[in-house]
Structure 1
Amino acid sequence: MPQSRPPLTIYLAAPRGFCAGVDRAIQIVELALAKYGAPVYVRHEIVHNRFVVDSLRAKGAVFVEELDDIPDTDQPVIFSAHGVAKSVPAAARHRRMFVLDATCPLVSKVHIEAARHHEEGLEILLIGHAGHPEVIGTMGQLPEGAVTLVETAEDAERIEPRDPKKLSFVTQTTLSVDDTASIVAVLRRRFPDIVGPHKEDICYATTNRQAAVKAIAPKIGCLLVVGSPQSSNSLRLVEVAQRAGCATARLIDGAGDIPWGEIENIESVGITAGASAPETLVEQVIEAFRERFDVKLETVTTAQERIAFNVPRELRPTPSSAA
């Protein structure tokens, strides 16, 4: 007689997976390939997910680290969702490249805020992680020295601005909501006149995914976050789960990375996905569990997302083609 499979409840966090900015960026590459043919050049990974990048590469996208890696061409050159320093579009204009900008509009909003603060004569603090493409892009909007990076509350305690009464801050869009709040609290305590964003810089999708993880963390023995190690918002989901009471939280690229040894004797697992991870990877993870366990699937929804961003005008259908 076949051995019965042990029962397992999977709590599926919602929202999870693609955000509007990631969805737009991928659309831009796919529409460019459909309209202009291959190759389409993309500076840096369009989003931080190996599955997405590999699938676009298979369709004819060529990923490069710098514009210098692109030959002279009339084909589209696409900037990733994370945004770029001002020097990059300037170099592209110098080479007369046909550029399609896939920068997330919420990242562009931070760029605009930083520029406005600079024009008003304010010193700018950027709360974020050193080396992340979004941070490099935001700091690169302004002259060297205009932006100071603050990574931790300890950094915020040590910072010595030129003039405490002429100080502002912006943040990376994919940070831990709680970590950022603690850093901002330090800055506001030390510098009561500091100017912050009109609206929170951490994007709605990052906030919503972290809230969904907090909702399921007390119910589960393990959380699996589907996402790539380079993905800031995915790494933050692991940290959020651990702080919310789920000691075992792991980042996995896909079903092949499930740590079976850690979940042999638990009764419940949570699954979520970072903002650049496609739903197909989540489905494969659930299917892998179904092969080993008698799965009961429960979706825990903490928010509804209906935000969508337009693609660049060059890629929108013309009235005749849309008819």
Structure 2
Amino acid sequence: MQIPFFRALEDSQRILIAGCGGGFDIVSGLPLYVFLRNADKSVYLANLSFARVDLASRKKIGPAGRLVDSDSRMQGYFPERHLVDWLAARGCEPKVFAFEKTGVRPLRQSYEALVTLLNVDTIILVDGGTDSLMKGDEAALGTIEEDALSIAAVDQLEGVRKFLVCLGFGVDNYHGVCHHSFLENTAELIRSGGYLGCVSVSAGTQEGDALLDAVDYLNERQPNSKSIVANSIASAIRGGFGNRHDTERTRGTELFINALMALYWCYDLAAVARGMGFYEAIACSEKFHEVENAIRIHHAHADKRDWKNLPL
């Protein structure tokens, strides 16, 4: 049973997989990277970056994009640069495109430049977690600002297919996301035709094992910056369950690692963008703080839904 997401990708030949929320989000796209390369697609990797990519690379792409490769200068926190080494060790093209945290307009221009450079016909934004589905009227929004920035920028692109994929259902409880609201938003997207199905990332497959190997590699290279989201997802893929902690950063809190964290939730990106109540307020932003302020103001004045726990 093939889900609609993969049917929608059948005619795609040159695909950019981009982490939309920064940090380790691009790692959540690696199973798709492996799967689509095995399907004889040309696949490229990008990420909204928390690093100072302007200092790491002189290879500029648009106002906010940089090519990260083996020549890029290492920094204390730079998962994109470590991922380059991981790709090289696996015989893949050792390059990742990184975007600075800016406003929507310069990020859109940088995506446009990269689409032209690579002749991309499809962009898949990947969120490690599920707060990218927040519309702005939820009880809490998690860390939606970076996700919203990427979604709005890519939504404005013309001439490419655009999708959003989330991996890590439940992990954002740590960041204050109401998963009842996530499922409610997904139900609305089902009704509107914007939901494109779910598929599991499993251990013992090339796709799942690539993610596990990358998480282990990045943990070794950045032992003081282990990703809560990526390690929770990896733990779930390995069969972890309950209050399991694979990074000291979560000690003292209660986690619920479970198999649902290993599901890809797939969406039409334009449908998600249309649901963001703050879209117009951030659409022409130049700086990241404008995005943050607009979302904060919208949420403060929104008629918020109550927090509801899942009745399971």
TM-score w.r.t. length of structure 2: 0.30
